[in-house]
Amino acid sequence: MIGRDGADFASNDYLGLADSAVLRGAVTAALARGVPIGSGGSRLLRGNHREHEALEAEAAAFFGRESALYFSSGYAANAALLGTLPQRGDLVLFDELVHASAHEGMKLGRAETRAVAHNDVAAFAAAIADWRRAGGAGRVWIAVESLYSMDGDIAPLAELAALAQGEEAILLVDEAHATGVYGPQGQGLAHALPPANLITLHTCGKALGCEGALVTGPAIVRDFLVNRGRAVIFSTAPSPLMAAAVRAALRIVAEGEGLRTALFDRIAAARQALAPLGVPPGESQVLPLILGDDVRTMAVAGALQAGGFDVRGIRPPTVPAGTARLRISITNNVDLADIAALAARLTELLGERSSTPL
């Protein structure tokens, strides 16, 4: 692990809220009104606090869902969702690039699981048909991300939702990298999907600048997780103080069109500057620059860090073999001059992808 030095091209603090004065003020105000730092127990013992309940009510309203449940992290939420909801006899189909936490949940669950080619709706449909022909009679669960954290591409959510509706399947959408950035008021990329068979996960530690995760969906899903989800029953509840901070963050992003406009201006500048170096076309704030070789990737990342640019190299097994990359994350913590300087330094290091010592 290395420290947090240099211009921020590595974090998921997309809107620049994590160290903002407005969130500091919200936490200070919460402390002043007596919100405790620790919960002291699980939600089912003495750990439940009115700040948790207020956050869940406000989050359900903000995301336009019937209910919400607050977890300590996105990892815990994904593990709880996929380890609790699908039952024996069901089938979980997951995009091959879905987050590691989803894999942990599937390991804990009792349903059959199958990987499906990335963002391939036809492959999801074929997998369901194959399973049904082989005698599968349970419920199908489709697990995807709305915006993939290592490739920066966006899932075909409307088509997946239509497939799920036609097959009476449940669509699980991890909105970790879209919450706060996309959709009306930052509600995410899944905000317009039919709600009946949709469960969404909104992490609070990325664009919201806080910590934890919110699972939103039908009230029956929340009730089932509260009564059967081991990550709820046997885990100390999240900090009530952090719940208060997330409440404030939701209000900020709801009124934060200026923050999103500033971010997308930076994204456009970065994509234009870095396209000649091999960053693929796209629109999101995650720009992968695939170098392939692990050693070269880490050498380039190290050279950038030494020059004041916090860019991290990503190697297998986080990404497939042969696709080691620089994961360049665009946030409001940098300005247009920082982006231009990064592009200039990368051009020096890579020689516009020609053969260099790095």
Q: Where are the beta strands (DSSP E) in the chain?
A: 7-8, 67-71, 91-95, 112-116, 140-145, 170-174, 198-203, 213-217, 286-292, 309-310, 312-314, 324-329
Which H or E run includes 337? helix 336-350
List the catalytic residue out of 149, 235, 332, 333. 149
Q: Is 146 designated active site?
A: no
Active-site annotation holds for 12: yes
d(CA 148, CA 161): 17
Q: Coil, helix or strand for 121?
A: helix
Residue 259 contacts residue 63 (beta carbons within 8 Å): no
Q: Which DSSP string corresponds to 264-283?
A: HHHHHHHHHHHGGGTPPS--
Residue 277 is encoded by which pair of tokens?
Answer: 């170096």
Indicate which residue of 177, 202, 332, 338 is catalytic: 177
Beta bridge partners of residue 8, listed in sequence order: 310
List 206, 211, 284, 338, catalytic entry: 206
Question: Other C-beta atoms within 10 Å of 44: how many?
Answer: 13
Judge whether 206 counts as a catalytic residue: yes
Find the catalytic residue in 12, 67, 197, 332.
Answer: 12
Nearest partner of 101 among 129, 79, 120, 68, judged by Cα: 79
Catalytic residue among 51, 52, 90, 99: 99
Measured CA to CA, the distance from residue 235 to residue 313 in angstroms comes to 33
Which one of the listed residues 51, 56, 95, 145 is annotated catalytic?
145
Q: Catalytic residue among 8, 51, 95, 174, which?
A: 174
Residue positions annotated with a catalytic role? 12, 99, 145, 149, 174, 177, 206
